[in-house]
Amino acid sequence: MDNHTITIYDVAREAGVSMATVSRVVNGNPNVKPTTRKKVLDVIDRLDYRPNAVARGLASKKTTTVGVIIPDVTNLYFSSLARGIDDIATMYKYNIILANSDENEQKEVQVLNTLLAKQVDGLIYMGHTITDELRAEFSRAKTPIVLAGTVDPDEQVGSVNIDYKSATEESVSELIAEGHTRIAFVSGPLSEPINGEHRLEGYKQALKNAKLEYDPSLLIESKYTHKVGGKVYKTIKEANATAVFVSDDELAAGILNAAQDDGLKIPEDFAIITANNSKITEMVRPQLSTIVQPLYDIGAVAMRLLTKLMNKEEIDEKTIILPYQIAKRGTTKEED
Amino acid sequence: MDNHTITIYDVAREAGVSMATVSRVVNGNPNVKPTTRKKVLDVIDRLDYRPNAVARGLASKKTTTVGVIIPDVTNLYFSSLARGIDDIATMYKYNIILANSDENEQKEVQVLNTLLAKQVDGLIYMGHTITDELRAEFSRAKTPIVLAGTVDPDEQVGSVNIDYKSATEESVSELIAEGHTRIAFVSGPLSEPINGEHRLEGYKQALKNAKLEYDPSLLIESKYTHKVGGKVYKTIKEANATAVFVSDDELAAGILNAAQDDGLKIPEDFAIITANNSKITEMVRPQLSTIVQPLYDIGAVAMRLLTKLMNKEEIDEKTIILPYQIAKRGTTKEED
DNA sequence: ACCCACAATGCAAGCGTTTTATTTTATTTT
DNA sequence: AAAATAAAATAAAACGCTTGCATTGTGGGT
């Protein structure tokens, strides 16, 4: 028994047809007589033939693989998006090459390049911010790209998000409606458009609507980890805030815990509203009130959009905004 | 300006050398004179040439890509492993094709096959159990495979785990040392070796060491979600247990919350010890006492092992057991 | 029977690399 | 300065498939 990998050629020989015909049946091309199709299929089955996707990719210039750049799989916000992406990808027969970037510009560029070298048919990027270098690479690439849960003022590529500004505005307004006047705003770096533009605008708008004064000392930039919650809480306290809008759930949980450790009653003494509705929000006590983002759907819709792009279908709108809701749970008072 | 993708051939022509030479400099082959190397490198830079990894893969029969089968990226236990895997993969210049299986046998087999079709150089499998069909596929595949955080009695492929039995035994012994005599054991299906063999054995052993009677009514099989925590808690209560060992953190958090909602003081009235030390354990209050598994490392070591396997290096032991610890936090009493 | 149209198949040229065997060039050795 | 050896470069054959074009087969219409 010779031990070479069995190829389309072997199948062709055994079935007494040409490679082209085998290729046709493998690819479901209708131009093949049912009897020959069956004959070929039988041989394929007997020889346990498995088409080599790499060869296929070279010949067809399609890899049925898309690259996914993610800051950190371990982050529930992004992994939820990733899950939506993968499910739809699978549905459309694509596979995902997943690469963690840690929001590191160098890594991102680096990873983008290896992904392109691997001839991915499309690319989904997740992150908090898009650097100029990355943006330059994006526009240079011929490969379709979609941003998921990531905003870019320069709308060259497709993207799927919610309306962060109005979601933030609405959240902060809830806090105001409950009687809070000093509301802290905790986010990642304000240099990132999603924070410094969308969310902050929403925050300011809510204050303005309520004729409250805007106080920059209530703005806090922070990392998104549970651990720093204590430090952030201290800052909030020093600013005499009685409520806080937080743009990350893990961080919000950290703040919540710190506040309770400090003896505060939530939501009586201190209110919190967070932004992602990742499952963490329901695992802490009291449960976090939050903007309900359709995380899975953002990923799913992004991937769906990408399939259209890869397929060169006509797109009506490549900047997609999905609806959101606000869930009032235990860290804000009931309204009525 | 002609718009064709630029290939190694273009570089060769421009640099006045053969394709083979270009290939050598691209691959860092030392057999090339520094001056020609520079010349080629310059052309590569000027033309912005990027080697086509697919063509490379076909010619070299290496894709520098490994497949990773994961039950659900959204599960912190597995995503932590995945993070370790990806970091080491990146370090060794591999990329990861990530595929969610939902522990669904059909999906697993299906995904395994597309991964093999894509000619991955290696495969990492994560899951709770390995079905016979999957095991058959594993042994049929010529591709190196490593299990991460996943046990298989039939040790045909490499694997990286901790000693679940002794970790469980130790955890339960802690509970016993605190005076508990009715300790529930909550895990996934006992049909899975990791539960029915390793963990349950550890549990029994701990009881035996303490001369406590083994009561099967204290065994609870459950899904691993936060949501079912309430139901599980009820069952535990009905069984008159005062402590519980839980093999999943999310579920443990659910049980913790349910117990507190029921008015119990933790750990005075009820003790909990969980198994994964995912970051959830530190985000709930009180923080969960837990087995400290080196999740990231399990992934990292698994990937490292896989690189060796792919490299056909000599392996001393392909079944790797990593050390664990026990962290006593808020859901068990302090000892001294 | 004969021609035509169209369905079914086959041929062979790519796809962009790597790699082996071979030739050319450079460096020693004597 | 020629011969021997080592180093660098080339030519061309894979790698396993897809696909445009050419060829053959098939049945219907006349």
Q: Quick one: average pLDDT of A193-205? A: 96
Round the average pLDDT of chain A to a whole number and report it. 95
User: Would you tell me which residues 217-256 of chain A have a C-beta closer than 8 angstroms to some C-beta of chain B?
Assistant: 226, 250, 253-254
Which nucleotides along chain D are within 7 A of a protein C-beta?
7-20
Structure confidence at residue A2 (pLDDT): 52
Nearest protein residue to nucleotide D12 (CA to C1' distance) is B20
pTM of the entire structure?
Answer: 0.94
Distance CA A101, CA A96 (A): 15
Residue B137 lies in a domain: yes
Q: Is there a single domain that holds both residue A287 and residue A305? A: no
Residue A329 lies in a domain: no
Using a CB-CB distance cutoff of 8 angstroms, which residues of chain B are in contact with residue A97? 65, 95-98
Q: Strand D: list protein residues with Cβ under 7 Å.
A: A 5, 7-9, 19-20, 23-24, 26-27, 49, 51-52, 55-56, 58-60; B 16-21, 24, 30-33, 35-37, 55, 58-59, 61
Residue B28 lies in a domain: yes
Answer whether residue A1 shows pLDDT above 50: no
Six-digit token string for A68: 């996914």
Mutate to test the interface with A, among B48, B54, B108, B282 (most CBs of A within 10 A): B54
Q: Is there a single domain that holds both residue B144 and residue B181? A: no
Which nucleotides along chain C are within 7 A of a protein C-beta?
7-12, 14-21
Structure confidence at residue B3 (pLDDT): 62
First to last CA, chain A: 79
Whole-angstrom CA distances from B11 to A58, B8, B45, B154, B185 are: 19, 5, 10, 51, 65
CA distance A334 to chain B (A): 19
Q: Is there a single domain that holds both residue A229 and residue A134? A: no
Residue B332 lies in a domain: no
| CA quadruple A35, A37, A41, A44: dihedral, nearest 10 | 120
Task: Answer yes or no: is B55 CB < 7 A from strand C.
Answer: yes
Find the residue in A nearest to B249 (Cα): A283
Q: Is there a single domain that holds both residue B188 and residue B285? A: yes
Distance CA A300 to C1' D10 in A: 51
Distance CA B75, CA A17 (A): 48
Residue A333 lies in a domain: no
Q: How many CB pairs under 8 A join A and B?
A: 133
Q: Is there a single domain that holds both residue A119 and residue A196? A: no
Six-digit token string for A242: 């009685």
Stated length of chain A: 336
Residue A262 lies in a domain: yes
Q: Is there a single domain that holds both residue A81 and residue A181? A: no
- The strand ranges marked E within chain B are 65-70, 95-100, 122-125, 145-148, 158-162, 183-187, 219-221, 243-246, 271-274, 289-292, 319-322, 325-327
Higher pLDDT, residue A3 or B277: B277
Domain that holds residue A14: 3-49
Q: Among A54, A87, A260, select the one facing B54 at the smallest CB separation.
A: A54
Q: Is there a single domain that holds both residue A67 and residue A109? A: yes
The separation between CA A288 and the C-alpha centre of its own chain, rounded to angstroms, equals 21
Answer whether residue A167 shows pLDDT above 90: yes
Q: Is there a single domain that holds both residue A32 and residue A146? A: no
* Alpha-carbon dihedral sign for residues B280, B286, B290, B296: positive
Q: Is there a single domain that holds both residue A68 and residue A79? A: yes
Domain count, chain A: 3
Task: For strands A271-274 and A65-70, give the pairing.
Answer: unpaired
Q: Is there a single domain that holds both residue A45 and residue A130? A: no
Q: Per residue in A125-148, pLDDT tens?
A: 999 889 999 999 999 999 999 999
Q: Per residue in A278-309, pLDDT tens?
A: 999 999 999 999 999 999 999 999 999 999 99
Taking the stretch 10-29 of protein chain B, residues with Cβ within 7 Å of any atom in nucleic acid chain C are 19-20, 23-24, 26-27
Q: Given an 8 Å threshold on Cβ–Cβ distance, is A284 in contact with B283?
A: yes
In this structure, what DSSP letter does residue B217 have?
G
Distance CA A71 to C1' C12 in A: 47
Residue B58 lies in a domain: no
Higher pLDDT, residue A70 or B31: A70
Q: What is the residue-level pLDDT of chain B in tens, covering all 336 positions?
A: 456 789 999 999 999 999 999 999 999 988 888 999 999 999 999 999 999 999 999 999 999 999 999 999 999 999 999 999 999 999 999 999 999 999 999 999 999 999 999 999 999 999 988 999 999 999 999 999 999 999 998 888 999 999 999 999 999 999 999 999 999 999 999 999 999 999 999 999 999 999 999 999 999 999 999 999 999 999 999 999 999 999 999 999 999 999 999 999 999 999 999 999 999 999 999 999 999 999 999 999 999 999 999 999 989 999 999 999 999 999 998 654
Structure confidence at residue B280 (pLDDT): 94
Three-state secondary structure along A167-206? HHHHHHHHHHHCCCCCEEEEECCCCCHHHHHHHHHHHHHH
Q: Given an 8 Å threshold on Cβ–Cβ distance, is B86 in contact with A80?
A: no
Task: Answer yes or no: is A33 CB < 7 A from strand C.
Answer: yes
Q: Is there a single domain that holds both residue A81 and residue A105? A: yes
What CATH number corresponds to the domain at position A12?
1.10.260.40
Answer whether residue A336 shows pLDDT above 50: no
Answer whether residue A5 shows pLDDT above 90: no
Residue B185 lies in a domain: yes
The separation between CA B173 and the C-alpha centre of its own chain, rounded to angstroms, equals 26
Distance CA B34 to C1' C30 in A: 30
Helix axes A295-310, A76-91, angle to 10 degrees: 40
Structure confidence at residue B335 (pLDDT): 54
Lowest-confidence pick of A156-165, A327-336, B38-47, B203-212: A327-336
Task: Answer yes or no: is A53 CB < 7 A from strand C.
Answer: no
Distance CA A2 to C1' C11 in A: 28
Structure confidence at residue B264 (pLDDT): 95
What CATH number corresponds to the domain at position A173?
3.40.50.2300
Give the up-direction half-sphere exposure of residue A167: CA atoms within 13 A in the CB hemisphere: 29
Residue A145's contacts (CB-CB under 8 Å, 6 or more residues apart) are A122, A123, A124, A125, A138, A157, A158
Q: Per residue in A77-105, pLDDT tens?
A: 999 999 999 999 999 999 999 999 999 99
Q: Which residues pair with B106 in a beta bridge?
A: none
Q: Given an 8 Å threshold on Cβ–Cβ distance, is A74 in contact with B80?
A: yes
Using a CB-CB distance cutoff of 8 angstroms, which residues of chain A are in contact with residue B279? 74, 226, 250
- Chain B contact for A47, CB < 8 A? no
Distance CA B14, CA B330 (A): 69
Q: Can you tell me which residue has the tokens 């993968």? A: A86
Q: Is there a single domain that holds both residue A155 and residue A168? A: no
Mutate to test the interface with A, among B49, B87, B91, B95 (most CBs of A within 10 A): B95
Q: Given an 8 Å threshold on Cβ–Cβ distance, is B117 in contact with A90?
A: no
Rg of chain B on CA atoms, in Å: 25
Q: Given an 8 Å threshold on Cβ–Cβ distance, is B90 in contact with A113?
A: no
pLDDT class of A4 with cuts at 50, 70, 90? confident
Structure confidence at residue B336 (pLDDT): 42
Distance CA A58 to C1' C7 in A: 29
